[in-house]
Amino acid sequence: MTVLNKSFDGLPYYLKPCFLYMSIFPKDREVSRRRLVRRWIAEGYSREVRGRSADEIAEGDFMELISRSMLRPSQQSIHGRKGVDACQVHDLIREISIKKSTEEDFVFTLEEDKMSLLRVLDLEGTPGLADHHLQHIGKLLHLKYFSIRGCDDIHHLPHSLGNLRQLQTLDVRDTRILKLPKTIIKLRMLTYLRLGRKSTDKKVSYEKLEEKLSNSMGNNRLCLLTSGSVMLCAACCAPRRFGYSEDKNCHDICTAACCARLPAVAKRLDSHSGHKKLTWLRKLAVTGINGRNGEKFCSAINNLNRLESLSIQSEGDPGLCECLHWMTSPPENLQSLKLYDNRIKLPRWVQRLQHLVKLNLRSTRLSGHDGDVEVLGRMPNLAILHLLEKSFQGEELHFQIGIFRSLTVLVLRNFGDIKLVKFDQGAMPKLEQLQVRNDWRVSAETGCSANEVAFSSLDFLPSIKEARLWLNIIPDEQLKEIPDEVFLKASNFEEHFRTQLANNPRNPILKVGELENED
């Protein structure tokens, strides 16, 4: 303990509050880097200094505590741009943080007459949190960080949210919220906004919900009346045997019914609300981009000069190509871009993203014959490239000499019609990690739909350190037993990949069955 106390005493002044802050979290709790850094910024521990943003300062403080062994990395990844995704505190070091926090009155319990001074309200993953619990959130005028991430019973935010003029971070990811209050345009200090649900989240069964409502309400039909911003719902009168717990009031029941049963109406944007000019936004993910809203979306994005991360998913025809050509001046500081689409041509402005570090493509169906590979390969700072399902079409994916000179991580997932992945000598001189995933579907009627893609010239990768391979066999529900020939094909595929990799003089490590999440 004496040695550990000296470690704390030796911390620079700017790191001590960051470390003492860890005493707030329960024992053995894994804390995400994202969550911790945003809270430090809200508390004022990290501020813009000499041209470096508060985010950069906080990220640096996080990594310095890692390097000093005051925080222990619990999720490391060269898959992402930051390197460490989450951390924990060793039990003995946590004891020191609690002891020092108590001695210096750094952490204390707030009584209800002092809650108005709160800067951080983190309710992430809180069970039982309902809409009516947030009714008076607008009274916390000093709030800079507000998170209800993972609170599955939250369906809407109150209009009083607009009172939080100091709010910098708003995280409502993995809730039931489909529509933000119009008052969000008053949050001029907002720099970090997280919305939406995980792609693995199960869709709501609206038919079952309607049946449940009908059974509960008898002859009363669920109706929703809209006029301007006024919304009235007959579910307000639903009895409590509706299926919700007793502590939820009628307002919560009404909101849940409307948002779940009629999502198209609940997420309706009023035509007179105008563009939400969140010009300090740094990270944005949107879905449902199409030909009808593409021009307005591009107009809004053109103003987000501080945007660093952008994820776009199209919906229906004609895909992002026709939607995104309206982009006249893409965010110049963009570092991460994800395009999930059904289009066949890269937007021209992509090649102008000189600061882009990470790119994810899925269902884009790009063509090697149109020079799309060369366009991506000439991006000077591109370090992480994910080519996911149906990102390319054709039978050959050819990485030629002189391209992707900064790439360190390449992820290839499900090859479609591709039969050959080929690397020229001199392509990807800095590539350190290659990840390959191939999903093989086995049906009782059609057999195995395996794509036995071949790899060529893995020995030409001069810097590769590690390769990861995952062959995922997905049997049909009606199939009682997977045929032996499927396992034989998988074994042959692995052996081919292993042999190709063994020819590389760097002797890279091969890990089978270990991949990281592409998101």
Binned at pLDDT 50, 70 and 90, residue 77 comes out as: low
pLDDT in tens, 288-298: 777 777 788 88
Mean pLDDT of 384-404: 88
C-alpha to C-alpha distances, 12 to 1, 5, 7, 61, 68, nearest whole angstrom: 19, 14, 10, 10, 11
Give the rounded percent of residues in the chain with a pLDDT score beyond 70. 76
Same fold, 1-107 and 109-197: no
Residue 252 is predicted with a pLDDT of 54
pLDDT band at 113 (very low <50, low <70, confident <90, very high): confident
- Under the banding of pLDDT at 50, 70 and 90, the label for residue 322 is low
The pTM assigned to this predicted structure is: 0.62
Quick one: pLDDT at residue 502? 92
More confident residue, 330 or 120: 120
Q: Are 419 and 395 in contact (CB under 8 A)?
A: yes
Token readout for 234 is: 């007959």
What does the domain layout of the chain look like in residue ranges?
Answer: 1-107, 109-197, 291-356, 359-518
> Over the stretch 266-289, which tens digit does the pLDDT of each residue have?
333 333 334 466 677 888 888 777
Task: Specify the CATH architecture of the domain 109-197.
Answer: Alpha-Beta Horseshoe (3.80)
Please tell me the least confidently modeled range out of 80-94, 244-258, 293-307.
Answer: 244-258
**Cβ atoms of residues 20 and 106 within 8 Å:** yes
Predicted pLDDT of residue 315 = 59
Among 81-95, 156-170, 268-282, which range has the highest average pLDDT?
156-170
Q: Determine contact, residues 239/119, Cβ cutoff 8 Å.
A: no
* C-alpha span between 31 and 22 (Å, rounded): 9
Percent of the chain at pLDDT > 90 equals 31
254 falls in which pLDDT band (50, 70, 90)? low
Q: What per-residue confidence (pLDDT) applies to 316?
A: 56
Q: Residue 222 contacts by C-beta under 8 Å, 6 or more apart in sequence?
A: 210, 213, 214, 233, 234, 235, 257, 261
Q: Which of 170-184, 209-223, 267-281 has the lowest mean pLDDT?
A: 209-223
Q: May I ask the CATH class of domain 1-107?
A: mainly alpha
pLDDT at 330 (0 to 100): 84
- What pLDDT score does 482 carry? 80
Of 276, 300, 306, which Cα lies nearest the Cα of 188? Answer: 276
The pLDDT value recorded for residue 356 is 93
Better-predicted residue by pLDDT, 323 or 407: 407
Predicted confidence (pLDDT) at residue 166 exceeds the cutoff of 90: yes
List strand residue ranges (DSSP E) for 265-370, in order: 283-289, 309-314, 336-340, 358-362, 366-367
If pLDDT is split at 50, 70 and 90, which confidence band does 150 have? very high
